[in-house]
Structure 1
Amino acid sequence: MGDAPNYHQDLNQKMTLKLREIMRDLPPYTTSFFIAMENNSTILTRVNYAADLRIFFQFLVKELPRFQNKAVSDLTQDDLKSITVDDLYLFLDYLNLYASSDNDERFISNQERGKARKVACLRSFFKHYYKKGVLEQNVCQLLDTPKLHEKAIIRLEADEVADLLDVVESGAQLTEKQRQYHKKNAVRDLAILTLFLTTGIRVSELVSLNVSDLDFKNGCFTVTRKGGNQVMLYFDDETAQALNTYLDKRKDCGNYALSSPLFLSMQGKRMSVRSVELMVKKYARIVSPLKKISPHKLRSTYGTMLYDETGDIYLVADVLGHKDVNTTRKHYAAMSENNRKRASKAVKLRK
């Protein structure tokens, strides 16, 4: 697989250092919580939980009178025992608007999904110390999870997909400055968007790909999923053509090697998640200005097209890499209803 493992090792190393940095802002006793999490969570999950806990402990020392003479690092397990469910509800209210830790003039507001993630973090945290016998009761069990309202799936329609690919090929409606970059990157950008739209790959998975991950003979490539599992995904002839055209250009430019990243920036380095996101938005804004299209929305577009063609929710879940098919079913529930309506008209008893 070339240097593909190095990309993930690199990312893991950066996230580990980030986790350690955040943990320096937490009470020392919290270390056991993150050690316990290690076997059943990704490093990114632990980083997010550490950041959420930092906000919680900062709330305690800023907003609760009994802790205001303490620093976060001074908080102990005895302080944790004194937390009440009313304190937790005050924390949820605090999340509506609070000052950023690095800038008292910048305020942050958490919406329902941000609050729900912090409640999930606190539940895991309190559960850990309850199981250890530190807490006599787990007050976090009494905390209601904020209600989550389902969001409509934003995706491209079939005609918009065709228009998007046309724009990438032609550069139509790009600004003068954008056209200068387009001349150099059009073939690469078309390969990226085609891969998104025919495999449903995640942007993090896409940027981690190496040339050596591709198998044109069998029309597939190796991808490392969230959690570290490796799977094979398959692509069609249209995708193979887009990828081959891009790699042929790489060979002509002399920057092709099996061990090199599949998608390169103009500086000849592996493209970042952010640069791919900006590239997608640049083209999608022309085709569908009212939709905020991101790489994840292209993934939803692929999932929709695949489900519409097959009606197989388990297939969609498998290809998209959802561990729980209910996650997939939740996102495509509206389409299931459409299929049921279509089924009700499919059988005619008297023609």
Structure 2
Amino acid sequence: MAKKKMTPSSNSNKLTGINQGDLNSRLSKNKKLKIHNKSDTPDNIVIKQNEMIRKCLWIESQLPDFMSDYFMYLKNAVALSSRLAYLSDVLFFCNYLVNELQFSDAQKPVDIDADAFYKITAKDINLFLADFCTRYIVETDNADYIMENHNRSLARKRSSLSVLFKFFYRDQLMEKNISEGFNPIKLPKPQPDAIKRLEIEEVQRMINAVETGEGLTEKEKQYWEKTKLRDKAMLVLFTTYGLRVSEIQQLNLSSINYARGEFKIYRKRAKEVNMPLNHSALSVINEYVKLERLNTINLDDPLFVSLQGTRMTVRSIRELVKKYTSIAMQTSRDKGYSPHKLRATAASSLIQYGFSIYDVQNLLDHDNVTTTQLYAAHKKNAKRDVINNYELLDEYNEVKKNKK
């Protein structure tokens, strides 16, 4: 593998990665996108999936042709979000080969020579992950960004490259499965005590803040007056069902089936799930729809809309949650929690109230019950509760008394 010697200074060279703005501009069209949808999947979900597919196709167009069979494999073997992540990591690696190593005299990733690529070794990958990916600089017209990857990010890149090279080995394009020689990347073991979540008292404080405006700045109160019912409905759904932010963002008016008392969400891997509506969820949704939602400009299908009448973005939902959780914890706005922390809050609260781990696993869509068990450890004073409710001598004396 032809390469130059890597030094700390070489990590400061310009890396041409995937520029999201450039990607979006290349994908954008002046033509209006129309949906011919004969499935039960809502149009907004179809549009989102289509955007991801277009991004995948654009990335594939930047990569060499000899990877075409690999592209087909990803298309049929993994979820769409995983396909996009794998392709992004592969393009990142190929840009590294071209811009940092002047690999096979290629001027851009699409020019990379197949025979040279098949000669890449595990040592080359380990050097890429350990020496380059940990810290590099991305130059843009406005600023230079220092990018740092820690073990979790490095592990994802390692996984993406493992899938790629295992595929080439399986198709007998490479003599060895070089992924077996990739250095392990140790990930911190999840610690229950490290899981960030709101306590039950803090959830109550958060709901009180959205109801009364307590803790908001004067400027925030101006928006709060127009969105408090929407915000309350979203926070109740987050903390009741442990929904992911994308699942909340994609909800539609048509997602709610009042006759059956349930609403439909679309989870990872294109799973459709019907969630039952309890009294709390139904009341906050009805209040929002009747008193706030109908006053918006846009009366199309999105359930949660901005003041402009358009579907709320994931970013705006994150900011909303961060604001109210910071008030609940009585801390600064930048210390507020993400929507995923409300998912953890829901899991821990349900277990604390005595619901089965397996029921909570099913509700939150955890693939493995061990993930749910992490939240079970948050049940405070569990040992004390067990012991205090089991007084052995009292039981013994009661039996002895009855025998008399």
Common fold, TM-score beyond 0.5?
Answer: yes
Q: CA deviation at 1:145?
A: 3.0
Residue 267 of structure 1 is matched in structure 2 by 308
Please report how far the alpha carbon of residue 68 of structure 1 lies from its aligned counterpart in structure 2 after TM superposition. 5.7
Q: Secondary structure at the match of 1:148?
A: coil
One-letter amino acid of the counterpart of residue 275, structure 1: S
Matched position secondary structure for 1:260: coil
Structure-2 separation of matches of 1:311 and 1:153:
19
| C-alpha deviation, 1:338, in angstroms | 6.3
- 1:321 — aligned with what? 365
Deviates more, 1:303-312 or 1:91-100: 303-312
- Is 1:86 the counterpart of 2:123? The answer is yes
Alignment pair present for 1:350 and 2:389: no
Within the candidate set 116, 119, 136, 1:98 is matched to 136
Structure 2 residue corresponding to 1:253, chosen from 295, 302, 306: 295
Deviation of the 1:44 alpha carbon? 1.6
What amino acid sits opposite 1:206 in the alignment? I
Distance of aligned partners of 1:296 and 1:197 in 2 relative to their CA distance in 1, 3 Å threshold? same
**Cα distance in structure 2, aligned partners of 1:22 and 1:282:** 36
TM-score (norm 2): 0.79
Structure-to-structure mapping, 1:185-264, within 5 angstroms: 185-250=227-292, 253=295, 260-264=301-305
Which residue, 316, 319, 322 being the options, matches 1:278? 319
Q: Residue type matched to 1:98 in 2?
A: Y
CA distance in 1, matches of 2:114, 2:223: 56
TM-score normalised by L of structure 1: 0.90
SS in 1 for 2:337: coil
Quickly say closer, same or farther: Cα 1:176–1:2, change in 2 above 3 A: farther
SS of 2:137 mapped into structure 1: strand
Residue 334 (structure 1) aligned to one of 370, 377, 392: 377
| Equivalent residue letter for 1:322 | H
* Unmatched runs of 5 consecutive residues or more in structure 2: 1-37, 395-404
- Tell me if structure 2 keeps the 8 A contact 1:264–1:270: yes
Q: Deviations over 1:208-228 (max 9, x none)?
A: 111122133443211111111
**1:317–1:325 contact (8 Å) kept in structure 2:** yes
SS in 1 for 2:274: strand
**Is the alpha carbon distance of 1:252 and 1:87 closer, same or farther for their aligned partners in structure 2, counting shifts above 3 Å?**
closer
Give the secondary-structure state (helix, strand or coil) at the position aligned to 2:115: helix
Separation in structure 2 between the aligned mates of residue 234 and residue 317 of structure 1, nearest angstrom? 16
Per mean C-alpha deviation after superposition, the further-off stretch among 199-208 and 101-110 is 101-110
Report what 1:64 is aligned to: 101
**Percent of aligned positions that are identical:** 33
Kept in 2, the 8 Å contact 1:97–1:107? The answer is: yes
Give 1:11's aligned residue. Answer: 48
Change (3 A) 1:340 1:271: same
* Aligned counterpart, 2:175: 136
Gapped regions of structure 1 (runs ≥ 5): none
1:343 CA displacement: 4.2
Cα distance, 1:184 vs structure 2: 0.4
CA-atom RMSD, angstroms?
2.6
Q: SS of 2:393's equivalent?
A: coil
2:285 partner amino acid: L
**1:284-299 correspondence runs (5 A):** 284-288=325-329, 289=331, 291-299=335-343
Where 2:42 maps in the other structure, the secondary structure is: helix
Between 1 and 2, higher relative CO (CA 8 Å, sep ≥ 6) is seen in: 1
Amino acid at match of 2:345: T
Aligned to 2:166: 127
CA distance 1:320–1:101, shift in 2 (3 Å): farther
SS in 1 for 2:247: helix
1:345–1:115 distance in 2 versus 1, CA, 3 Å: farther
Aligned-partner residue type, residue 264 of structure 2: T
SS at match of 1:222: strand
| Residue matched to 2:13 | none
Distance in 2, Cα, partners of 1:192 & 1:226:
20
Deviation sequence 1:115-160 (CA, Å, 0-9, x none)? 0111110111111111111011111111133111135211000110
Letter aligned with residue 194 of structure 1: V
**Equivalent residue, structure 2, for 1:312:** 356
Deviation at 1:349, TM superposition (A): 2.6
Offset of residue 79 of structure 1: 1.8
The worse-fitting range, judged by mean Cα deviation, of 136-145 and 284-293 is 284-293
- Give the paired residue count: 349
* Contact 1:77 1:134 (C-alpha < 8 Å) held by counterparts: no
Asked whether the equivalents of residues 351 and 376 of structure 2 are also in contact (C-alpha less than 8 Å), the reply is no
